[in-house]
Structure 1
Amino acid sequence: MDLKTRKRLSLLILLLGLPGYIVIAWMLLAWIDDTWGRLPIWGELLVVVGLGILWILPFKRVFSGIGKGEE
């Protein structure tokens, strides 16, 4: 995949994927609160960080080298 395509795809992922991640993380934490009760703050932090790492892993190849110039 060429650099121009990866830049456009990464912008699309950040504009649509990141807000989608925030909504899903928020809904998951609300569901956990309703089901098992409120998690301690460190538990919520672990869930959010875990989800943040999970959503970016499939797109690692798209985001690699985006900051570099055309060669």
Structure 2
Amino acid sequence: MALSYKTRRRLSLLALVVGLPAYIFLAVYIVTLFERPSFLLELGIYIVLGVAWAYALKPIFKGVGKADPDAPPEE
């Protein structure tokens, strides 16, 4: 089922305002559960986690910055 343009816009806003800070907090919390790894390993973990959320939410963000394709044409 394809999401409508308006639904994708709302979900993308929710993901950025609520989901991303929660994801960052969770990633930092998980890394601190273990003994602090070396700087390069920790940096690698954050880079992988930072790219993973973008790929996971790509279908929601795709085309959100463009004009609404379902809107009637303006004259």
TM-score bucket (shorter structure): 0.7 to 0.9
Which residue number corresponds to residue 20 of structure 2? 18
- In the TM superposition, structure 1's runs of 4+ consecutive aligned residues that sit over 3 Å from their partners are none
Deviation per CA, 1:1-42, whole angstroms, max 9, x where unpaired?
A: 111110011001111110111111111111122xxxx32211
Q: TM-score, normalised by structure 2?
A: 0.77
Q: Which runs of 5+ in 2 are unaligned?
A: 70-75
Identity %: 39
Does residue 57 of structure 2 align to residue 59 of structure 1? yes
Point out the structure with max Rg over C-alpha: 2
> 2:34 aligned to 32, 42, 56, which one?
32
Q: Which runs of 5+ in 1 are unaligned?
A: none
Q: CA RMSD in A?
A: 1.3
Q: Which has the higher helix share?
A: 1
Report deviation, 1:57: 2.5
- 1:31 and 1:53 map into 2 onto residues whose CA distance is 21
Which residue number corresponds to residue 7 of structure 1? 9
How many residue pairs align between the two structures? 67
